[in-house]
Amino acid sequence: MEINPVKGTHDIIADEANLYTMIEHTAMMVASEFGYQEIRTPIIEHTPLFLRSVGESSDIVNKEMYTFDDKGGRSVTLRPELTAGIMRSIVSNKLHANADLPLKYRYVGPCFRYERPQAGRYRQFNQFGVEAIGAPGIYQDAEVITMGQRILLSVGLEDVKVLINSLGDEESRNAYRQALREFFSKHIDKMCSDCKRRLEQNPLRILDCKVPEDKEIIKDAPKMIDYLSPAAKAYLMSVIAILKSVGIETEIDPTLVRGLDYYTGVVFEYHFEKKEGIDDVGALGAGGHYANLLQEVGGPSLEGVGVAFGIERLAYIIKSQMQQNGIHFGLDFYLMGMTDDIIQKNFVLADMLREGGFSGEMNYSTKSMGAMFKVAARKGAKFAIIVGEDEIARKEVAVKNLKTQEQTIVKLEDLENVLHSMIDKYYADMNAAPTEEE
């Protein structure tokens, strides 16, 4: 009997796993540079946590949560996002009372949502994110947005735009909700069943509808920015100005509301600029300011701001770019030896190179040179290091660039330094802008 993966899940193997590791490691390192400490919370939480924090009007709670009773009859849920669990952890461990504010945490891990699988979107997916709690104000919001942009640049995504909006203060939201109810009540008979429910629960959610016919109606809906109080509008413009001072341009998107009910104030998304041959996967990451979330789960009244990225979406875009540019993950070197005696010597040489920070493999059984070159190509090696009897006698090796086929004789004592230079040049040539003739 063949047992297949559960729909909406997938195995992450070899090059794809390497890509995930690179994204997660890079994101965690960038966040640590901004002073965020790591936190790990359980995958499973009591269901009321998400009802109180994510919000009963959200699609996540209404349609997407994996909720079941455990053997003790308690309702538990596989986490659909990590922010709520982090708020619960802060309260459970009294972190707000025992540490300096703001509390700044970074995280990475799997989440679960029952939704239609598509490009870069799965029912089990991985998120990286940060939360900053206890330092309300424009600079904390701007720092999180800046950090998110820095992460995207660090993983190789430069063609990204930052969309921003504000859900305003309570005065602003109340006025806006009333305006939306009045507008959508005239069109609701022609809209989807979800929008009918949202009109009663939270009309802001209608703005997030993905039904094409409904999106046409939404285009003419009132805009949040027209209902912002003077204080809320000044706050948004101040955050935009701070971002501009560090070179981050933003675009105000009046329909941006986010899919979670806990957001108040500034909200934002990162979108990859559409390119030919790369499917649009929606927002690469998103976040916003929340004023009441910690208090909703039993903590003190401390405001916060967070951002989260879908690892699958980032991996999909990066992989598509790599394929378009002929780039792939692979070894730095493949070490070749034709005899058992040379293989024995190569074992020591390979270990020395790995200790020097290079990734590589070698042949452990005698093979023809042609067979070894085929193996090196399949493993994506950048360079072949060829060791023969003559090279051993001269204390030299031949290093061959498997992309250009250029071969260089290198003294063994210089191999590490020369290989570092060759790899730097390999990447420089790969990233060089094409000439006009090209």
Question: pLDDT grade, residue 319 (50/70/90)?
Answer: confident
| Secondary structure element (H or E) that encloses residue 286, with its range | strand 283-290
14-169+229-324 classified as CATH 3.30.930.10: yes
The lowest-confidence range among 34-43, 116-125, 267-276, 381-390 is 116-125
Q: How many Cα atoms occupy the beta-carbon half-sphere of 202 within 13 Å?
A: 21
- Whole-model pTM: value is 0.84
Q: What is the pLDDT of residues 122-178, one digit of tens each?
A: 999 999 999 999 977 899 999 999 999 999 999 989 889 999 999 988 888 888 889
Mean pLDDT of 189-215: 87
Question: pLDDT grade, residue 328 (50/70/90)?
Answer: low
pLDDT at 372 over 80: yes
pLDDT at 277 over 80: no
Place of tokens 């909406």: 8
pLDDT at 58 over 80: no
DSSP secondary structure letters along 118-180:
BTTB-SEEEEEEEEEES--SHHHHHHHHHHHHHHHHHTT--SEEEEEEE---HHHHHHHHHHH
**Domain segments of the chain: what residues?**
14-169+229-324, 333-431
Cβ contact 156:321 at 8 Å: yes
Mean pLDDT of 60-74: 89
Question: pLDDT grade, residue 320 (50/70/90)?
Answer: confident
pLDDT of residue 105: 98
pLDDT of residue 327: 63
Selected residue with higher pLDDT from 85 and 55: 85
Q: What is the pLDDT of residues 226-273, one digit of tens each?
A: 999 999 999 999 999 999 999 999 999 987 877 567 888 999 999 988
pLDDT of residue 169: 86
Instruction: Residue 67: count other Cβ atoms within 10 Å of its Cβ.
Output: 15
Domain 333-431 is of which CATH architecture? Answer: 3-Layer(aba) Sandwich (3.40)
C-alpha 59 chain-centroid distance: 21
pLDDT of residue 147: 97
Question: pLDDT grade, residue 437 (50/70/90)?
Answer: very low
